[in-house]
Amino acid sequence: MSESELAARHRAVLPNWLALYYQEPIEIVRAQGRRVTDAEGRTYLDFFAGILTNAIGYDVAEISDAIRAQLDTGVLHTSTLYLIRKQVELAEQIAELSGIPDAKVFFTNSGTEANETALMLATQYRRSNQVLAMRNSYHGRAFATIGITGNRGWSASSLSPVKVSYVHGGYRYRDAFGSLSDADYIKACTEDLRDVLQTTTSGDVAALIAEPIQGVGGFNVPPDGLFAAFKEVLDEYGILLISDEVQTGWGRTGEHFWGIQAHGVTPDAMTFAKGLGNGLAIGGVVARGDVMDSITANSISTFGGNPVSTAGAKATLDYLLDNDLQGNAAKLGNHLIAGLRDLGERYDIVGDVRGKGLMIGVELVESGGKDPSPPNAAAVLEETRERGLLVGKGGLHNNVIRLAPPMTLTGEEADEALEILGASIAAAQEGTK
Ligand code: PMP
């Protein structure tokens, strides 16, 4: 069966809102290293890595062996009511890496569930259903997470039980204070936070939840120190800080293991998912012990922390640390950002190049101005695929190309991607004339 037939069947039986990439959607049937092959036999360099799920890349022996060893025991899963050795070991490792004092870990199957759990804990701990979130944020697609997501394109329901107020600081390129210096920007956003607390809440807010670098929102990097300034205000009120590290965790940003560390603050809780499983479904929350244990009734996730996921995740985390993939992300990230900024000088449909490590956004605009251009982003997406490169798209206006390759990327692959991106942006710019 061809990819186009499969796409037709997909559209008939899956929801309209589960959108597929590309005019002619692809089915990936094989993968190795940083490359994937589709059902028609075309191979692509993967610069989206399953929306950052593949931290390490494909078909990595150490990880496959760990998963296979677990499968060979016959225990795919029994129950989280029994001891699971790898779950305990992984929790110990993540608690230690978190830097959060007396940290405890709860495993889920996804980032959404992780954030739902963190919001449940924070609201319970503070006995308040008021939450602060960032404008243009994305935190998931369940009832509370969708309610705090600050992006109309992803806010499928407004009926959340959480009362949310939004603050500035997420999307600087198009923020009212965006053109200020870093220090003044931080000051303006912190004043806004104070104002929001005073004018839209009763003060007894449970938590501020934030992505250190917005993911779905277009890889937007706030100035370092923003969340430290926020934390001072939050501490005055006793409000918890939850860092959503679903995209920024595991060293992807290069300079730090967790995105929030760029701000020199320790959050009260962090949520994680995606890269930890290198393709397996796993997520979780790491939080201060007193926050984690603020619920007194029993709770459980049937599959969260199951033997197969935790075996794969433990092998992934060990591989990340043993091979200094954070260092590789920093080095190749700088190289890619420099190369893309060069392209930005040459093509005026490139409005902004930003990012940290291997989390890089290229915002496409109307030629010569700053107006967002979704068609130019769509054109770059198609052009790159034709030339053998998979990239992501996102942003409030759906006009940001997102680059997030596996962190095992090589210098040659980075250059190959830069060349394809250059040719694709040139073709897109040509097409808009
Ligand atoms: N938080 C962030 C920052 C995300 O980027 C995502 C997924 N894109 C989620 C939460 C939700 O994760 P999941 O899709 O695994 O539920």
Domains with residue ranges and CATH for the chain: 3-60+325-432 (3.90.1150.10), 75-323 (3.40.640.10)
What's the confidence (pLDDT) of residue 155?
Answer: 84
**Closest by CA position to 274, among listed 46, 392, 110, 95:** 110
CB-side exposure of 105: number of CA atoms within 13 Å?
Answer: 24
Cβ–Cβ under 8 Å, residues 84 and 333? no
Please count the other Cβ atoms lying within 10 Å of the Cβ belonging to residue 424.
23
Complex-level ipTM: 0.99
3-state secondary structure 80-135: CCCCCHHHHHHHHHHHHHHCCCCEEEEEECCHHHHHHHHHHHHHHHHCCCEEEEEC
User: 138 CB under 6 A from ligand 1?
Assistant: yes
What's the confidence (pLDDT) of residue 175?
Answer: 93
The Å distance, Cα 111 to ligand 1 centre, comes to: 5
Q: pLDDT tens digits for 230-250? A: 999 999 999 999 999 999 999
DSSP, collapsed to helix, strand or coil, labels residue 54 as coil
What's the confidence (pLDDT) of residue 161?
Answer: 85
The Å distance, Cα 430 to ligand 1 centre, comes to: 35
Burial of 322 per CB tally in 10 Å (0-12, 13-18, 19+): exposed
322: Cβ contacts below 8 Å, ≥ 6 apart: none
Q: Which of 274, 276, 359 to mutate to test the pocket of ligand 1 (most atoms within 8 A of CB)?
A: 274
Residue 387: pLDDT band by 50, 70, 90 thresholds?
very high
User: 53 CB under 6 A from ligand 1?
Assistant: no
- Which residues sit opposite 319 in a β-bridge? none
When pLDDT is averaged across residues 5-17 and rounded to a whole number, the result is 95
Does the pLDDT at position 433 exceed 60? no
C-alpha–C-alpha distance, residues 241 and 253, integer Å: 20
What's the confidence (pLDDT) of residue 1?
Answer: 78
What's the confidence (pLDDT) of residue 93?
Answer: 98
Atom of ligand 1 nearest to the CA of 112: 16
**Closest by CA position to 105, among listed 92, 121, 122:** 92
What pTM value is reported for the model?
0.98
Tell me which residue has tokens 């060990």: 318
C-alpha–C-alpha distance, residues 322 and 94, integer Å: 15
Please count the other Cβ atoms lying within 10 Å of the Cβ belonging to residue 370.
12
% of the chain with per-residue pLDDT over 70: 100
Provide the mean pLDDT of the chain. 96
Cβ–Cβ under 8 Å, residues 266 and 100? yes
Does the pLDDT at position 395 exceed 90? yes
When pLDDT is averaged across residues 390-408 and rounded to a whole number, the result is 98
**Closest by CA position to 340, among listed 357, 353, 330, 331:** 353
